[in-house]
Amino acid sequence: MAITDAPRGAGRATPNAIESALAQFDRAADHLDLAPETRAILRVPKREWTVNFPVSMDDGHVEVFTGYRVQHNMARGPAKGGIRFHPATDLDEVRALAMWMTWKCALVNVPFGGAKGGVTVDPRKLSQNELQHVTRRFATELQGVIGPEIDIPAPDVGTNAQTMAWIMDTVSMHAGYTVPGVVTGKPVGLGGSEGRADATGRGVMFTAQRALREAGIDMNGATVAVQGFGNVGEAAARLIHEQGGKLVAITDVGGGVANPNGLDPAALKLRLSEHGTIAGAPGTEPIDNAGLLSADVDLLVLAALEGQITANNADAVHARVIAEGANGPVTPDADPILADRGIVSVPDILCNSGGVIVSYFEWVQNLQSFAWPADQVAERLRQVINGAYDEVSAMRQRDGIDARLAAQAIAVARVAEATQIRGRYP
Ligand code: GLU
């Protein structure tokens, strides 16, 4: 499991995740001329939980962990969104991530609201046994909060298919029967969908390919830098490489590697599994995050954490196209600086939506007790994400706005419509 600890907006004060999410929402609400009461409803989470729970560690001592689950909106269906294990996770970050999930699900038109969860923990410092106990106890604290018709978690930074298997098993033990639909991103042998593990990276590849094409660049032969080599970055790098993209720089939590003649993602994956980082891989030069973000490349894939490109470093970016594989990697104060310099961004809620699109497919397969083959999953993912890309392009051109505002406005309009049609209870 690789997570990236890149500094968040280091230097001059820049918006944090929740400030960014709210600034983006306000911009979309202004563009849509949203009614004040709808704006007030959508600006805040519907429900949120903070849980503190003890876990017996391997050496016998007891540690108290803090976890969060925020359900931002459920107007269009059950809440949906990942669970993050990261030392810097806090309630405000989870609030922002939950709001972004609401817009993401609405943009790609899957019948879900938005949620997110997190535990403040560095999973790299825990044994598998300790991780399992943290996960099972957190899932127990969320009893009644999560469920196939209420709120469906999935992997995020620092969690993976094994984490989802533990949550599914814990919920099933309490229910007294197997509840596969309570989480997505499970192992395939446990009702997970074919293609889910790669889905976010595959969506990044599809949308980056479209954006490059619009900029007159073929992915085949394009130079590419990737920040992050975890759930999203590794798959994106591999699939972009398969399309002929030339990977010239990649960073992860332990450092970074560069080679102007191209990097081999399979060799780096092996290096990661053996050394816990890609740094120091043979035949590569070291590169740090600042070097990667300012690399002169056709495509920069941001697949780490939020707040990576801010007003402080946007001037240094030299990529032609940015693909936002992470949530919130570019802050609102950086957007106009990048736009002025002619740099095109594929916004996060579009670019990284492949994960939740295939999560939706997994949930549907679980409810139907029927598994789809891998090629069908990949083809349906391609259709849904390309359809969303087309809608964003059409709105961008029609209203003369940037892709982020177009994506947010489409999403907010859908959630606002559902809210208005449902009316108010009581
Ligand atoms: N954590 C992923 C995201 O941020 C996936 C969420 C899901 O599949 O529910 O989109």
52 in the same domain as 34: no
50 in the same domain as 37: no
355 lines ligand 1 (CB under 6 A): yes
- Assigned domain for 241 exists: yes
* Residues 188 and 152: beta-carbon distance below 8 Å: no
User: Which residue's C-alpha comes closest to atom 8 of ligand 1?
Assistant: 356
Q: How far is the CA of 374 from the centre of ligand 1 (A)?
A: 19
C-alpha pair distances (Å), 42 with each of 4, 46, 178, 356: 31, 8, 34, 21
Which among 153, 154, 138, 147 has a CA at the least distance from the CA of 177? 147
74 in the same domain as 120: yes
- The residue written with tokens 């053996």 in the block is 274
- Assigned domain for 374 exists: no
Rounded to 5 degrees, φ, ψ at 41 are -65, -45
Rg (CA), the chain: 20
What average pLDDT does the segment 273-301 reach? Answer: 98
Helices (H), 142-195: 161-175
Report angle CA 49, 19, 92 to the nearest 5 degrees: 20
State how far the Cα of 415 lies from the Cα of 426, in Å rounded to an integer.
Answer: 20
Q: Is 116 labeled as catalytic in the residue annotation?
A: yes
Q: How does pLDDT run across 57-106, given as a tens digit for each residue?
A: 999 999 999 999 999 999 999 999 999 999 999 999 999 999 999 999 99
Which pLDDT value is given to residue 5? 46
Is the pLDDT reported for residue 1 higher than 80? no
What average pLDDT does the segment 187-197 reach? Answer: 97
172 in the same domain as 230: no
Final residue before a domain boundary, out of 153, 183, 213 = 183
Final residue before a domain boundary, out of 125, 160, 183 = 183
User: Which residue's C-alpha comes closest to atom 9 of ligand 1?
Assistant: 81
310 in the same domain as 201: yes
159 in the same domain as 89: yes
State how many domains the chain has. Answer: 2
- Assigned domain for 381 exists: no
- Assigned domain for 426 exists: no
Return the best residue to mutate from 305, 356, 384 for the ligand 1 pocket (most ligand atoms within 8 A of CB): 356
- Assigned domain for 385 exists: no
CB atoms within 10 A of CB 222: 21
Secondary structure (3-state) at 353: coil
What average pLDDT does the segment 149-176 reach? Answer: 98
Q: How far is the CA of 349 from the centre of ligand 1 (A)?
A: 10
User: Residue 287 maps to which CATH number?
Assistant: 3.40.50.720
Return the best residue to mutate from 71, 89, 101, 112 for the ligand 1 pocket (most ligand atoms within 8 A of CB): 101
Q: E strands, 183-254, where? A: 223-227, 246-252
Which pLDDT value is given to residue 296? 98
296 in the same domain as 166: no
159 in the same domain as 53: yes
Torsion, Cα 130 192 380 306, to 10 degrees, reads -10
332 in the same domain as 219: yes
Which pLDDT value is given to residue 89? 98
What average pLDDT does the segment 201-218 reach? Answer: 98
- The residue written with tokens 């469906």 in the block is 152
**Amino acid found at 144:** G
- Assigned domain for 176 exists: yes
227 in the same domain as 158: no
49 in the same domain as 11: no
What average pLDDT does the segment 249-267 reach? Answer: 97
Burial class of 12 by CB neighbour count within 10 A (0 to 12, 13 to 18, 19+): exposed
- Assigned domain for 59 exists: yes
Q: How does pLDDT run across 348-372, given as a tens digit for each residue?
A: 999 999 999 999 999 999 999 999 9
346 in the same domain as 253: yes
**Amino acid found at 310:** T
Active-site residue identified among 116, 186, 246, 269: 116
Return the best residue to mutate from 74, 103, 324, 359 for the ligand 1 pocket (most ligand atoms within 8 A of CB): 359
- Assigned domain for 336 exists: yes
82 lines ligand 1 (CB under 6 A): yes
Final residue before a domain boundary, out of 149, 183, 217 = 183
Which pLDDT value is given to residue 263? 98
184 lines ligand 1 (CB under 6 A): yes
- Name 70's Cβ contacts closer than 8 Å, sequence gap at least 6: 45, 47, 48, 49, 91, 94, 95, 97, 98, 115, 116, 117
Domain span including residue 137: 45-183
pLDDT band at 15 (very low <50, low <70, confident <90, very high): confident
80 lines ligand 1 (CB under 6 A): yes
* Residues 418 and 76: beta-carbon distance below 8 Å: yes
Is the pLDDT reported for residue 4 higher than 90? no
Q: E strands, 57-135, where? A: 62-73, 79-80, 83-86, 114-120
